[in-house]
Amino acid sequence: MEHTRAKWGSNFGFLMAAIGSAVGLGNIWGFPYKMGANGGFAFLLLYLLLAAFVGFAVMLGELALGRKSGRGPVGTYALLSKRFKWVGWMGVLSGFFIMAFYTVLGGYCIKYMVLNIGDMFGAGFGSGAFADAGALFGAFITNPLEGVIYTVIFLAITMVIVMGGIKGGIENFSKIAMPALFVMLVITIIRSVTLPGAVEGLIFMFKPNFKPIQENFMQVLAVAGGQMFFSLSLGMGCMMTYGSYLSKKENLEKNSILIIVADTIVAILAGVAVLPAAFALGGEGAAMAGPSLLFVTLQNVFGAMGAIGPFFGFLFYLLVLIAAVTSAISLVEVATTFFLDRAELKGKKNASRKKYTLLVSIVMLALATIVAVDGLGSNGLPTPLGLIWIDFFDLWSEGVMMPLGAMLMALFIGYEYRVKKVENGVTMDGMLLEGEVTESGYRFRSRGFFDVCCKVIVPIAMAFILLVQIDGFFGLGIF
Ligand code: PHE
């Protein structure tokens, strides 16, 4: 049965899709600011250590398990373990929660592209009527209908790509979009670092400052760990899903490293693109994390650039949009794959990818509508657990379910499934055809390291991250 599964057309295509999943809003607005606020270069070192000792093992584990089973997270765990069966479900649920806010923010990018086009031509739908970008953003988020409309547009783009299938949709789109994103990023960097006052932003980001780490190591560790997980799309079965469509010939260790390195480089480059511009205009106060950095500070920068501003604004929001779309398609794919796997298991002959993708998208839209109408808490909706809706969905997915998912996968591999079998997943699966004993020639070089990571390092690191989250949330004051 397994050989009938759709496949990526090439390893390059797989890499573009996987890097596309990893590179997203997390890189562009999360990383630069968190790095600057938590110790600059010192934070980067910690991040790299976490990526090496935690991220690599989780990435490799997910790709190997997915490829081994040829299924998404629910199917993989159902096939391999009774005890861990529910972990797959948690992954799919995380995907829905992330999409609940991701689509809304993706929609904001489209809105800002439209705005900048308006400004290029001095049209009425530009930003002209507003005193500054703050007023503009405020008016936008307090208009629930507009928020929902742009969310629908973003989700529709995502849905159409996923409907095109693994190779015809996701891979073909990513193969063009990711290199394009890179070029746009370079152009943005050149503009940003040549603005007067830009150096301050670079200093904020890179200057080594061990104080935050000395003063509150646990907090910084949790920030770096959470960021790494979200940024690498780990802990919810996304890479498992993408791995399940990968040919058994490909080298998983090499791919894992390439995805992590590429994602980290783009995160750093995004900082070099965003922070100098933010500082050039407003100093550190303006370089806030999250939506206000992207949609207020930077839009102000474009507004202050004169005639060329709207052009750079359009280019920048297009860049962010592409990053968001290639991540969103991977999130939709996790849920779509779940339905396709289930249909295959039930022996359904006429399972339709398009139908499942539509179904998944409709449910995601329902959740996202809440976040869109909430407008970052500005429209008076009830606050679950005292949080605005975007933070609520973010807390449960990024804050809880993803680290938990990663921890449980590591424990599963380390103590139940055992590394021996993953070794088969990495090397023996290199067999070209069923029954043929020719190995693809890759040795599982990191086997000992991977084993220690799964058994000890990943579970401990994840347990700490979860504890810090719970501590912070309930205000226990342990750390
Ligand atoms: N990695 C994406 C980002 O950095 C978010 C994401 C998380 C995508 C989990 C897929 C799965 O924005």
Average pLDDT, the chain: 89
Specify the ligand 1 atom closest to the Cα of 323.
12
Closest protein CA for atom 3 of ligand 1: 24
What is the helix (H) or strand (E) element at residue 401, kind and residue range? none
Which two three-digit tokens encode residue 108?
Answer: 């904001």
Cβ burial 222-233 (10 Å sphere, 16+ → b, else e): bbbbbbbbbbbb
pLDDT for 332 equals: 98
- 413 alpha carbon – ligand 1 mean position (Å): 23
pLDDT for 122 equals: 84
Closest protein CA for atom 9 of ligand 1: 233
Tell me how far apart the alpha carbons of residues 438 and 460 are, in angstroms, rounded to a whole number: 38
Nearest to 403 by CA among 230, 221, 238: 230
Specify the ligand 1 atom closest to the Cα of 230.
7
1 or 411, which is more confident: 411
Does 2 score more than 50 pLDDT?
Answer: no
Closest protein CA for atom 11 of ligand 1: 233
Would you tell me the crossing angle of helices 11-22 and 172-193 to the nearest 10 degrees? Answer: 50
Encode pLDDT of 413-449 as tens digits.
999 887 656 666 565 443 222 232 223 556 677 888 9
Q: How confident is the model at residue 241 (pLDDT cuts 50, 70, 90)?
A: very high
Specify the ligand 1 atom closest to the Cα of 235.
9
- 435 alpha carbon – ligand 1 mean position (Å): 37
Nearest to 21 by CA among 99, 80, 133: 99
Does 199 score more than 80 pLDDT?
Answer: yes
Ligand 1 site residues, Cβ closer than 6 angstroms? 21-22, 24-27, 98, 230-231, 233, 236, 238, 327, 330-331
- Which of 327, 329, 401 to probe ligand 1 with, by most ligand atoms within 8 A of CB? 327
| Residue 431 CB neighbour total at 10 angstroms | 16
- 175 alpha carbon – ligand 1 mean position (Å): 18
Q: Where are the beta strands (DSSP E) in 148-238?
A: none
Closest protein CA for atom 7 of ligand 1: 233
Task: Report CA 197 to chain centroid distance, whole Å.
Answer: 31
- Which of 29, 33, 93, 233 to probe ligand 1 with, by most ligand atoms within 8 A of CB? 233
Q: In this structure, what are the phi and psi dihedrals at residue 134, rounded to the nearest 5 degrees? A: -65, -45
Q: Where are the beta strands (DSSP E) in 42-86?
A: none
The mean pLDDT value for 396-419 works out to 90
Residues of the chain with pLDDT > 70, as a percent, come to 92
- 395 alpha carbon – ligand 1 mean position (Å): 14
Encode pLDDT of 97-112 as tens digits.
999 999 999 999 999 9
Specify the ligand 1 atom closest to the Cα of 27.
4
- 268 alpha carbon – ligand 1 mean position (Å): 16
Q: Give me the half-sphere count of Cα atoms (radius 13 Å) on the Cβ side of residue 478.
A: 13
